[in-house]
Structure 1
Amino acid sequence: MNAGTVYLSVAVGFFVATAVKLWALRKNPRNPLLWAVTATLFVAAFLFVTAAPPSLAVINELLGIPNIAAPIVYSILTAFDGISIVLLIHWRGNEDSRVTLRQTRLCLTAYGMVMIAIYALFVLGDAPVERLRDLDTYYSRTPWIREMILLYLAAHTVAAVTMIFLCLRWSRQVPGILRAGLLLITTGAVCMFGYDLLKFTAIVARWLGHNWDSLSSPVAFYLAGFSAFLFSAGFMLPPIGQGVGSRWRALRRFRRLQPLWLEIRREIPPTSPPPMPWWQPVERRLMQRERDIFDAVLRLMPWFDRSIGTQVYALALAEHSEIRRARGEADACVIARAVIQKGYAVPALPSEQRWTVSSIEDPEDLIDMSTAMLQSTRVEVTRQSNASAEHSARP
């Protein structure tokens, strides 16, 4: 696979990542960090489109100036370096916003001046022979063009070292998927640094009369592509991973609440909307299920028997000595009995005889109650004994 194909393939990957972020911006258009990530990915995609050798030839031909594509690509690369550092600064955050603003201005000013200098040095120099793949080494001894090449490589090296330092320091302070993303960016920055070393080595070899151009063209080309892939993965992994993790937790909670929901679903107010279909976002389905459970529990409260709750709580606590679990079993038994009592039109209890369901006050405890609905033998005994008693009492 030639360098043009590699670069254009990388560009496609960055454009896809940009499209994903643009889609996210539709839901959160005022998120500055999301805008910064999107801009960074787009600049990276544009960089690899212009840096591909076929694109270089097209740019030179369209503008009618030999090698004019070189300062264009170098300036885009410099812009990408500066934006990436700024993105990491804002991503990391700082308690003092003035420090963040000062660091941002310093970075953008420095890299903006480098971009201007790149064009100025190209204008001062003379590069009449078009070179699409080995311009760095071919013109490594040409006045002004040599300085332009060294300047962009120096700026790129500073960016790589800065990103390695920032990401490594930050990765020690954060866990999980964010740490993994930072380590991927760090690895990409190491590859960037390796790219610069290969370029510098090939240039110095030319100065000494040797030909090590293979380090600058094919090897460095592929290393740059791999570096870009790692950067893209590093910036995309945390938001995607956090989104997947959030949905998985919501789905797990939704399923764990099913036993409780099935127990009391006939008490859900008739005015409540029907359950959402499976293709709806799981977060919305979870919110609906929790709301339905709360509404049904409120409707059942007049039939909550304090004596049943107290008895089950004491037995469960004596068995396994776990207060939260015992409370969940007691609440589950009280609800199971209330469903039967209300179904048989048994009169509501006086307020002083009613059991207070603690789980309705803390949504996290709903899971314990739902688990007890499915696993506790006391809940099943309560269902059977009350159903039998009510059935025999009926005329």
Structure 2
Amino acid sequence: MNDGLILYIPGVVLMAALVIKLPELRRTWHDPVMRSVCALLLVGCAVLFLAAPPTIAAVNDLTGVTNFSAPLVYCVLTAFSGSCIALIINWRGGPPEQVRRLSVLCIGVYAGVTVALVVLFALAEAPVERLRDLDTYYATTPFMREMITLYLVAHTLGSVVLTFLCWRWLRQVDGALRTGLALIVLGGVLDIGYIAAKFVAVFARWADRDWDYLSTYIAPPLASAAALMVGAGFIFPLVGERASTTWRAYLQFRRLKPLWLELRGSTTSAAATMKIGWWASVELRKCHREAAIRDGLLNVAPYLSGSVRGDALATATVQGVPREEAEMVAEAAMIASACRAQAAASLAAAPPPDPPPDAPRLAYTDDSDRLVSLSQTFGSTIVATARWRAAMPESSCHE
């Protein structure tokens, strides 16, 4: 794989995660956790793009300084490690003053490390440009050696802290957040593998051994995979939760259709009858369908018959239907009968009857889930029978 692509691709993933998070950041700008997450994604994206060999060569050429990209990449990577720790500090929470103090301390320490990296590079002599193996090529060069060690230690601290604390949190949550944390932990483990490969290769150089392949060929794929996992970990809780919510709304929208079709002729309010564009979200469509159903139920209320419900309940009980399901079927039968009675009254231009003092009340329309369950009973033969009897002329019913 191209040396650039192996880092550019996960960089794009982190950038996508940041773009997905931006709307939430605008809404919750004062939330330090959200700011820390976005800072982490931004810095991580910068690390991956700047560490790619084509970018390294371009930056060196642009600045005219041999190996200028080395301190630049190390400083940005150090900022990434500091962002990891700052994120954990804010995630853990606690007294605001303590969180602020620890965050300032973290920023101060990593800012100091960044300054030290720049100073060490300025003091070092690195005349030969190295695009892929600078860590091992200059592992024994004065000041370059200290710079390389310092950035590896700082990065190790940030990666270990992020991985360990996400692992602890992983065992306390579930759902999409748990999956996201698991991906971040996996990314952290891969990143620790990257650091280990770098350290071993550098230590080997100190011992006059050539294990450069660990740094040059093993470490970059591990860094790429780690970035992909961490980016996916930040994306998944938001996208996964959104997808789950949308799918649930879609299922409810579909399952409400029998009840909606039953009441469609009884719906009169402007809000319930207005057309919804094809571009409308599933959630909006579901809410619109629920509004139409409740409007229809309100209109057929004067035609609800307790005797129809009683007959349907008795029939369902005789058929061995469980009590709760039988009551729901009886409710559906009463609604179906009321729809036919209202339709007949509308054709005759008759006003709706005054409800008696003991008029039946609907019991299964108080929330969306129960409304969906009620809708699913409209395929019952008991409901079909109630609908058929309500549609028959009264004379036929008494013959």
Q: TM-score, normalised by structure 2?
A: 0.90
Equivalent of residue 384 in structure 1, options 363, 385, 388: 388
**1:287-325 deviation line (CA, Å, top 9, x unaligned):** 111111111111111111122223433543565574442
Letter in 1 for 2:171: R
Give the superposed CA RMSD.
2.5
Please name the residue that 2:159 is paired with.
160
Equivalent position SS for 2:65: coil
Does 2:377 align with 1:364? no
Contact 1:118–1:151 (CA under 8 A) maintained in structure 2? yes
Using the alignment, how far apart are the partners of 1:173 and 1:29 within structure 2? 24
Letter in 2 for 1:186: V
Please name the residue that 1:350 is paired with.
355
Name the stretch that deviates more: 236-245 or 318-327: 318-327
With over 3 angstroms needed to count, the CA separation of the structure-2 counterparts of 1:280 and 1:158, relative to structure 1, is: same
Equivalent position SS for 1:358: coil
Please name the residue that 1:48 is paired with.
48
Please name the residue that 1:19 is paired with.
19
Please name the residue that 1:79 is paired with.
79
Task: Compare relative contact order (CA 8 Å, sep 6+) and give the higher one, 1 or 2.
Answer: 2
Contact 2:4–2:52 (CA under 8 A) maintained in structure 1? yes
Letter in 2 for 1:383: R
With over 3 angstroms needed to count, the CA separation of the structure-2 counterparts of 1:391 and 1:116, relative to structure 1, is: farther
**Could you tell me the percent identity over the aligned residues?**
39
With over 3 angstroms needed to count, the CA separation of the structure-2 counterparts of 1:198 and 1:322, relative to structure 1, is: same
With over 3 angstroms needed to count, the CA separation of the structure-2 counterparts of 1:143 and 1:391, relative to structure 1, is: farther
Letter in 2 for 1:243: R
Q: CA deviation at 1:261?
A: 0.2
Contact 2:13–2:232 (CA under 8 A) maintained in structure 1? no
Using the alignment, how far apart are the partners of 1:70 and 1:18 within structure 2? 25
Contact 1:305–1:349 (CA under 8 A) maintained in structure 2? no
Please name the residue that 1:341 is paired with.
341
Please name the residue that 1:194 is paired with.
193
Using the alignment, how far apart are the partners of 1:89 and 1:322 within structure 2? 53
Please name the residue that 1:212 is paired with.
211
Q: CA deviation at 1:174?
A: 1.2
**1:126-171 deviation line (CA, Å, top 9, x unaligned):** 2222222111112212222211111110111111211221111111
Using the alignment, how far apart are the partners of 1:311 and 1:25 within structure 2? 57
Equivalent position SS for 2:213: helix
Q: CA deviation at 1:69?
A: 1.2
Please name the residue that 2:282 is paired with.
282
Please name the residue that 2:173 is paired with.
174
Letter in 1 for 2:385: V
Q: CA deviation at 1:327?
A: 2.9
Contact 1:325–1:368 (CA under 8 A) maintained in structure 2? no
Q: CA deviation at 1:29?
A: 6.4
Using the alignment, how far apart are the partners of 2:277 and 2:290 within structure 1? 16
Contact 1:253–1:367 (CA under 8 A) maintained in structure 2? yes
With over 3 angstroms needed to count, the CA separation of the structure-2 counterparts of 1:280 and 1:24, relative to structure 1, is: farther
Equivalent position SS for 2:130: coil
Letter in 2 for 1:162: V
Letter in 2 for 1:146: R
With over 3 angstroms needed to count, the CA separation of the structure-2 counterparts of 1:153 and 1:107, relative to structure 1, is: same
Q: TM-score, normalised by structure 1?
A: 0.90
Using the alignment, how far apart are the partners of 1:322 and 1:40 within structure 2? 55
With over 3 angstroms needed to count, the CA separation of the structure-2 counterparts of 1:260 and 1:180, relative to structure 1, is: same
Please name the residue that 1:223 is paired with.
222
Equivalent position SS for 2:237: helix
Using the alignment, how far apart are the partners of 1:200 and 1:34 within structure 2? 32
**1:312-350 deviation line (CA, Å, top 9, x unaligned):** 335435655744423321221111111111111175253
Name the stretch that deviates more: 172-181 or 292-301: 172-181
**1:178-234 deviation line (CA, Å, top 9, x unaligned):** 212111111111111111111111111111111111111121112111111111111
**1:370-393 deviation line (CA, Å, top 9, x unaligned):** 01112x221111011121244848
Using the alignment, how far apart are the partners of 2:325 and 2:95 within structure 1? 45
Letter in 1 for 2:214: L
Contact 2:84–2:159 (CA under 8 A) maintained in structure 1? no
Using the alignment, how far apart are the partners of 1:253 and 1:96 within structure 2? 42
Q: CA deviation at 1:104?
A: 3.1
In the alignment, structure 2 segments of 5+ residues that lack a partner are: none
Name the stretch that deviates more: 186-195 or 302-311: 302-311
With over 3 angstroms needed to count, the CA separation of the structure-2 counterparts of 1:263 and 1:31, relative to structure 1, is: farther
Name the stretch that deviates more: 359-368 or 211-220: 359-368
Q: CA deviation at 1:55?
A: 1.4
Letter in 2 for 1:368: S
Contact 1:303–1:354 (CA under 8 A) maintained in structure 2? no
Please name the residue that 2:304 is paired with.
304
Letter in 2 for 1:371: Q
Counting only pairs closer than 5 Å after superposition, residues 108-187 of structure 1 correspond to structure 2 as: 108-187=107-186
Using the alignment, how far apart are the partners of 2:365 and 2:262 within structure 1? 15
Q: CA deviation at 1:277?
A: 3.8
